[in-house]
Each structure stands twice: as C-alpha cells, then as structure tokens.
Structure 1
C-alpha cells in the first residue's frame, strides 16, 4: 500500500510539473472544453476507428519546440514547450506564435517502445501536419511528406535503439505565400480569411505491426446487388496472403468472404440487409484478418454501411439527388471546422462530436465540410449519427494576379506545373483517406473559382477514381456542364437564378445571417455577416423566412441547399452558434421544425 501511495504521489508531482510547463495563451475567447485539456492526456482516443488495432501508443503531449530560419540546422537549445497536436499559432499550443514562410518549426520529444512490441515493426503515424514535414528518429532520417490535411506514416523500426528514443520533426508552411492547398489560412487574417495553422494539428502515434500487415482498407457497398466489397492493401504482399472478412450485426455474424492473390473480397450480404440513412444510420461491424499458411499475421476492426448515392430525374423532369434509390433533399450547414482555442484542432474529442450532434439536433441531414479535412474520428461520428458529408477540396494557390481578377464563366486560373501536380497529389490523398467512410456523399474539387483550373478534366478524373459518389464540380464557381450538379451561391436569401435540366441544381451557399453576441466574439470590432440583426428572435425570424422561401423553390428545381454557417469563425458572426460554442443564437425548436420540413420535402 505504501508503494502505491508513493507511486500516486510521484504521478501527481509529474502531472503538476507538466501543467506548470503549459497553459493556454490568454487574450481570446475559448470554448468550455479548453478547461478540460490535460497536457499528459490530450486527445487520447484511438485516432483511426475505420481501421483499428488493439495495440498503440499516443505521442500527444508536451514536446520541445523552436522556430528557426528556413534551411538552418536543428537547434541544440529549444524555445520552450508546445502542446501537440495543437498548431503553434493556437492558444492551446501554449505558444500562439506565427512562423511564416521564411522560418521553420522544429519539434522534439523522447519516447520509449513497449517491451511487448519486441519482434514487431513499429510505425510512426501523423494524423495531419501542415505542410512540408521531415522526420528523424535518433538522428536517422525516416521520411518526408507534403500535404496539410491527410494522414501519413513511416516504418521507423530500423532507426530505433532500445527503449530510449528521440523523435525530431521539422515543418515548413508558406501559408498564402505558396501554391499548396491551404483552405482559409492567410498571413493577415480578415473577413472570411483566418489565422495560419502551422505544423502538427492531429494526433501523433505509434503502432506495432507484423512483417506483413494491412496498410489500408477500401470498402465499397453495392445495395443493388446486396454486395459488400473490401480491398485490403497489404504491405509486402505475397501469394500466400489470405484476406478474410467477417460482417457482424451487433454480435451476430451475418456474412463473410475470403480472397487470395490480392483480389477484392466480395461479401454477399443477407436478404434483409439494413440500409444506412440519416434516419437510421446502421453500421455493420467488420473483422478483417490477414493469414499466411493458415497463421493469423494481422487483424483489424472496421465498420461499413450499405448505402448508395445517386441522382435521377423525377416525374416532373427535375434531376434529384437520391439516397438508396429514393429522392432526398439534402440540407445542412456550411461547416468550417475552426475553433477559437485550437484553430484547426478541437480541444477534446467531446468538442469534436459536439458540432455534429448540434447539426443533427437542428434537424439537418447533411454537412458541407468547407475547404478543410477533419480528423478520422469526425467522419466516424458522422457515420454513427447519420450525417451526409459534402467534402470540399481545400483551395490554394490564390496568387495576387488571380485574387484581384474578376471572373466570368469559362475563365480559369493557369497554374504552374508544380502547383497543378501538388493539387492532384493532395486531392487524390484526400479521396484515398476518406473513401471508406459511408457518410461521404459528394466530392467538391473547387469552391467559388478559388484556384479553379481544368474543371472538366479534374471532374472526370474524380468521377472515374470514385464512381460511387456524386461530384459537385465547383460550388458557386465557374460553371461547366460536367459532374452531377449545378451549384449556385446567393446571399443572403435563396434565389434560383440558373437551372440545369440535365444535372441536379443545388444552392451551395446562402444565408449568412449575422448577430454580434457580446462577450463571445473574436475581436471587439471588425465583425460582420452578410446581413445583421440584434436579437435571437430577429435572427430566427429571418432564418425561417429564408427557409420557407427555399421550400417554395424546391418544386421549381432545387435538390439540396447549404446554409452559412455552423458557428461564427473569427470575425465572421453569421453562425448558428457563437465561435466559442457557448451560445446557440437561434430558437433551436423553430429551426429544427423548418429544417425537418425541408429535409422531408421530397419524401412523398
């Protein structure tokens, strides 16, 4: 008992020391979850629920950091401590400093490898790092990566030296001084443009695997033929590999299938297959096993949904979006996914879930994820709650020549070869990373002509690469007769000013009803919305008025709509909630009633 008390006292002293080394930088509003952030247990949930193994080690927490001149050697003395995985510019990082294109951010930490992992390969995973990343383990270069929104990993086995190891990460991010996809980050935030996000902003973790192991899963449902297809990408695949998939409804095994020679496993689903929808978001549990000569060498847990996204002309000749071969009016908010305390990163997993749950509570059935990609757990929550996701490609390469130009239909940006290659690489990586999530219903390669180029070619490639989803070519951008939708933007009220008889016509953005809630704003002035009011009732009345107008436009041709937006973001005050999520601005009951009316408008 005495040893137990001594151990508890030691742990308490260590925890106190960690807290003393870190605290959020004050000066801005914050969410209620900021107070729950614990530096010795930050974002401790398993980071990849779509493909889960039992063993792993979280490397989030306090790391050393330094900001150095670009191209210089890593420092021997560091500037202080940073809380990973919060971007260096954020309050929760404990730093809140700007790096800029002329400098680099360097991280360092020590780690040990559990003795139970002996004889295994060890993978080092990064959820996302913005933008160019170089990694060393024990002074051995283990890998590099470019891209600010997708996961990547390195096999670090040969660089390990016993239990005590040192990890060093160097990051360069030019923000709006480069051609890379960056979403809404700018060097000088204002209006609809926000604070830069540099460096690690998702979980860093270790995972032991066998010599041959499952690298990725590509899961494809086919409700028309009652088939579930699963392609397992196997590292160091051999002709001896056998992949086995078992499908469970709760604890009951309902279907299974096997394949060899790298073939896709095709599982015949039962006749009474349960379909996924916003009203009934049923998920099947999967066990995927890799066997060699009858011996189990790897096994992961996953999940899948039987659902289908398509479009079809209705009895009145209007092309409608369909879910599971039935028309569905898809309606949801524009969701930026920004946080006053964590910027790109939600303070806690509970916070990450909160915005999705409130979207469901408001009566929406869809979210347009606006020029940002979220952590894997965000998409799993959408899968579980029944929220369809329209996924934007984060825009980039907004050079001054393009930014100051007035655009007309048919006019596009000319990207450099380097810029175009970067776009194509990162768009493919985003699609690969998100392919297996049932919630993803629509891909959006471009937003409002921001960096739009070679639209028909990009759209055709997107549709061929993933024929199971719809493609919205350019939400509110230059309009080409390709893809599955014509997407209009109109602020503040809905207007049907163009119509496409061959594709679905959707309202990709409207609304933007603003209200400054004192005590819950990013800055004391400079706040704006597309239209502003002074009370919850006024904002709610205007919201309902727009929704009723939208309802009347559905028989005339609208098949989906997106309201701007889920929350206030920095100086934008047009959210359904304040930026700190502490005030719901509108009458939730009235909003839910009219939203449900819209979502159910085609279910007749």
Structure 2
C-alpha cells in the first residue's frame, strides 16, 4: 500500500517527534490568545545535577510519585523539614535570553540550570486546549508543570510544545524547566564548534490557547511548477478520548475549511479528509510575486467553524537551470553575507524582533539581497522580518564539522531539528535554501547521513533548493589548483563551498594565481570567505588582524571569484564580530571571532565598504561574472 505523500510526511514527522518526546509547535503562536511567559524567571545553577539525580545517580523523575527533585518546587512543611533549594529566594534570569551574557559568573558555564516561573491562567472557554510553547531551549529541556513531567526536548534552536489541557490551575502554577547545554559527542552540533554555546531559555515561552479543533499546520505557497496557482494544505488537530485497544476508532467527521486571499479576491471552501487534512488550489492569474525589489505579501486567511488564522505570505518561485539560480524565472546573483544569531552590541543571543531588524537592516545597508543564517536555525523573527524587508535566506541545521555519522540517534536528532525548522518556516517567501551541513569531511557514512537529510528536506518541502557548505581540496601537485569534487554535490541544487585563501591558506597575493576545477555544472555560491580584523587596528596590507589586511583580502577575493564562470553568489564570513571560546588571542580576539565587517561596537570596518561598493556594482549588471 502506498501512502499519499502528505500523509507519509506527517507520519514520518510524528515518528521523529515521538522519538524526542515533544511535539512540533503549532504555527503562528504569536497570533493566538494565551499568556506570554517571558520576563524574570527564578534560577538555580546545578553543576552537580543534585536537582535531577539522587545520590545513586538515579533520576528523580523516573519514579511516580517523585520523592525529590527541584521540579517539585517544594517549601518546607515545617521548621524542621530539610529542603536545600528555594526558587522564591533564588536570583533571576531574563527570558528570552542566554545565561552567559546575563551573569559574569556564567559566561563560560556549561551544565544544568533550573528555571522556575509561577503563573495564573483560566481558559476563555471550557473546551479550549492549552499548549506550553518554547521557541528554543539550548540544548536539552526537561519540562515540568506543577511537579509533573511534561517531557523532554533535544536540540537548541527549534520550537516545540507540550499540551497541558486540564493541567493548568486558575492560580499558582509552577512551571519548572531544567536546561542542560552540556556539549556531547553524540549531539548535533557535537563538542567542537566555533561559536559560543549560549545556554538557557533563549527564545519566547508562551502559554497558547486554542479551540478544541484548531489549525495546527498549513502550507500556503505556489503549486510546484506554477507561478500563478496557489496551493494550500491545511492540517487540523482535534482533541478526543483515547481509543479502546479492542475497538477501532471511528473516522473523524469532516470539518469545513475555508481559504481566502481577500486582496486578490480569491477564496475556496472544502472539507478535511480522514487524516484531518484539507487541500486547495486557487488560480491567481494576476498574482504579484515576492522579490527583493518588491517584497509583496498577501493576506491569507484560513478558517474553520471554530478557528481562524491570518498570515501575510509572499509567493515566489526558486529554481536552478544549469549554472543559473532563477527567482521568479529570472537569473539572480545572490549578494549575500553570513550572520550569527548574536547581537554584538551586548554580546549575547539575538532574541527579539528588534534584534532581527538591527542585523538584517545592517545587511541591507551592505547592499545584500541574501543572508546565510549560520550555523543553526535562527529565531522565527529573522525569517518574518526578512519577508518584510525583501531579503532571501539560507537556513541551516547544526550538522557542523564532524559528528557521529554512524550513530542512528544522532541522525534522528538531525532529522528532527531539520523537520522542526522546515515546518516552522516553509511559509516564508524569504527562505530559498535549506542547508543540511557545514564543512563536513568526506566519507561514505557522512555522505549517506547527509543524503538522508536531503531526502527529509525534499519530502517536507519540494519547493526550495537544498545545499550544504562543502570543503575545498588542494591539488597535491599544485597548491594554486583548487578542486571541489565532493560526492555529496550530486545531491544538492547548488555547489556551495567555503574557502579562506589568503587567511588560512597563504597570503592574499596567492589569490590571483588560483585556478578552479569544479566537478558539477551547478550554480556556485561561495558560502564563506574572509579574514579577521580588529576594528580600529591599522597597518599595511600584510599586517594580520588589521583592517587593511581584511580589506585587501576582500578586494582580491572578489576579483578571483569573478573568474569562475558558474559563480552566482557569495555569503562572506561574516556580518558582525561574534563570541567564540576558540579565539583567545589577548588584546586582539579576547574571545571574539574578528571576521566581522562590523565590530563588536557596531563600527564598520574598511572591508564593509569594499563589499558594499562591489554589491552596488552588481545590482544592475548581468548575472554571469
């Protein structure tokens, strides 16, 4: 029996979520009623994990009822009872936010921290449902409500939710989260990265209220292969009693679903099928497409008899043809930059819409039409603001450098993170590329692993390009001969690779001598190049860490790249300086990667103007170099 494609994807997704004990978050939670749980949370640092394990290292939450554990949030019953923690007198941390940048003693801390938030809430209707939503928690989250464990989520950059219908009291609820950001060899990413391991409740925490039957997930985009037909797939979630093991559950009654785009005068009505999914096609002959030059978004309204969702969604096509990238059928050159999810002005995680507008606004000032969100899923505000500003995006999961390619749990983890990212952002016109890896060394197990991720991405969203940042090899007989022949390249839409000629590979005077051999006739996007420069440090063009060195490398790299006939874009490394424990050079790095075009104080370096001028020259020129 062959399952319908949509049903097969949903089943695969549910299997992934079951494996990680949490459910994918409902979409568009910010537009739903409920309670914002951001703000001050009590916190307890727990490096020995006394709040999670007993003295024989058995988890307290493994028994019911639990006999101990900080998640019980207990107070002494009398003056003689011994309880060695107290959230009421503990210090606080701001949520969303990382703990590293909020307390000096936590700057380098990795381990467990307990968060506690008290709240009151009464649903607006007796049959309404409640979900606890987390935008992201780095890295492992164990979540408890009123002393009962809701579940666990693994992965530091994607949203998840737990249903808590019937578990929320009108007053005095205790929400406790154990956050553990310990780096582990089997994790995604693994122990070795070149960015700061910011721990904590790093994104929004919300109590979300929905009707009993609500719109959980939807895809609204152009029908594959069409530029004037809108395809909508709407999936409902309905509450219901557990079926008896002896009695097969009855098929749910169909529910009426309506899709409308009022500014286009389009609407369609239908019913859900046995899987709770309704599908629509709406011809739109006069549809204005989304592009960086005209980031047009249309109001999309989805409704059932008991629920309604309204979104602004842009529509565009993205494809490759030979060596060209086609946006809405026209060749486009990707004038890009890489970006970490970090606000350099305060040296911590970028968490808010204001942070997204700051960082993406700097990218627009640079002349970009494209941004690579490296090396993990960034917060949802980034894609939504990019939709509005007209910036195309490359989104990525943290399969970074070397991970455990033959560990099935590591693969499940990576698939879950990719799935959660795609489901969250596949209605964002700005997202044109899903990236499944960065700088992974070639091996047969690695290629199998990455091919599985490509298949996952294409099954969940066949409308976007799939790529990865690959490595460059040097011809042993000629150091100026660079080769890109990664066998994984046969599975990607783009030939994307990182190269640091002039910084890690010789000096900038090597760049004019370089020649390239590329194994695939695909569009080339240089996913990284660059050099460190301390803002304000000056010298000649050969003085390492000077602004002059970085500016000269940019000028010579751009000239070199123009010799590649397939070159169709670049995302130099990187827009802003960012924190990294791998960078200890005193008085220069001081724990910062200095490859940013903007310093930690927000000041532009010389290379910023070099790249901006180049991008301005490419704005109205032919795509090919």
How far the C-alpha of 1:246 sits from its partner, in A, is: 1.4
The verdict on how the C-alpha distance between 1:76 and 1:309 changes in structure 2, with shifts beyond 3 A counting, is same
The verdict on how the C-alpha distance between 1:156 and 1:458 changes in structure 2, with shifts beyond 3 A counting, is closer
Partner residue in 1 for 2:597: 576
The verdict on how the C-alpha distance between 1:374 and 1:58 changes in structure 2, with shifts beyond 3 A counting, is same
* Residue correspondence of structure 1 range 223-242 to structure 2 within 5 A: 224=226, 226-236=228-238, 238-242=252-256
Contact 2:158/2:420 (<8 A) preserved:
yes
How far the C-alpha of 1:394 sits from its partner, in A, is: 0.9
The verdict on how the C-alpha distance between 1:573 and 1:89 changes in structure 2, with shifts beyond 3 A counting, is same
- The TM-score, its normalising length taken from structure 1, stands at 0.77
Number of aligned residue pairs: give it.
509
Determine the C-alpha separation between the residues in 1 that align with 2:609 and 2:401: 42
* Residue correspondence of structure 1 range 301-380 to structure 2 within 5 A: 301-313=310-322, 319-340=323-344, 345-346=349-350, 348-380=352-384
Partner residue in 2 for 1:470: 465
The verdict on how the C-alpha distance between 1:466 and 1:141 changes in structure 2, with shifts beyond 3 A counting, is same
Partner deviation per Cα, 1:225-281 (whole Å, 9 max, x = no partner):
512122222111843312211114xxx352112221244442424322101111111
Partner residue in 1 for 2:144: 136
- The TM-score, its normalising length taken from structure 2, stands at 0.74
Determine the C-alpha separation between the residues in 1 that align with 2:520 and 2:152: 47
Contact 2:554/2:610 (<8 A) preserved:
no
Partner residue in 1 for 2:475: none
Partner residue in 2 for 1:597: 617
Determine the C-alpha separation between the residues in 2 that align with 1:359 and 1:397: 26
Partner residue in 1 for 2:169: 161
Indicate the larger mover: 487-496 or 461-470: 487-496
Is 1:179 matched up with 2:157?
A: no
* Residue correspondence of structure 1 range 458-537 to structure 2 within 5 A: 458-476=453-471, 478-480=486-488, 481-492=490-501, 497-512=516-531, 514-517=533-536, 532=544, 534-535=546-547
Structure with the bigger RCO (C-alpha within 8 Å, sep 6+) is: 1
Contact 2:258/2:267 (<8 A) preserved:
yes
SS of 1:511's partner is coil
Q: RMSD of aligned C-alpha atoms? A: 3.1
Contact 2:217/2:235 (<8 A) preserved:
yes
Partner deviation per Cα, 1:567-594 (whole Å, 9 max, x = no partner):
11122112111124x2122376664332
The verdict on how the C-alpha distance between 1:485 and 1:203 changes in structure 2, with shifts beyond 3 A counting, is same
> For structure 2, which runs of at least 5 residues remain unmatched after alignment?
1-24, 54-68, 71-83, 240-251, 473-485, 503-510, 580-591
> For structure 1, which runs of at least 5 residues remain unmatched after alignment?
1-46, 187-191, 292-296, 314-318, 400-412, 519-528
* Residue correspondence of structure 1 range 240-279 to structure 2 within 5 A: 240-248=254-262, 252-261=263-272, 262-279=276-293
Contact 2:468/2:492 (<8 A) preserved:
yes
Partner residue in 2 for 1:206: 207
Determine the C-alpha separation between the residues in 2 that align with 1:530 and 1:124: 54
Determine the C-alpha separation between the residues in 2 that align with 1:334 and 1:430: 18
Partner residue in 2 for 1:89: 100
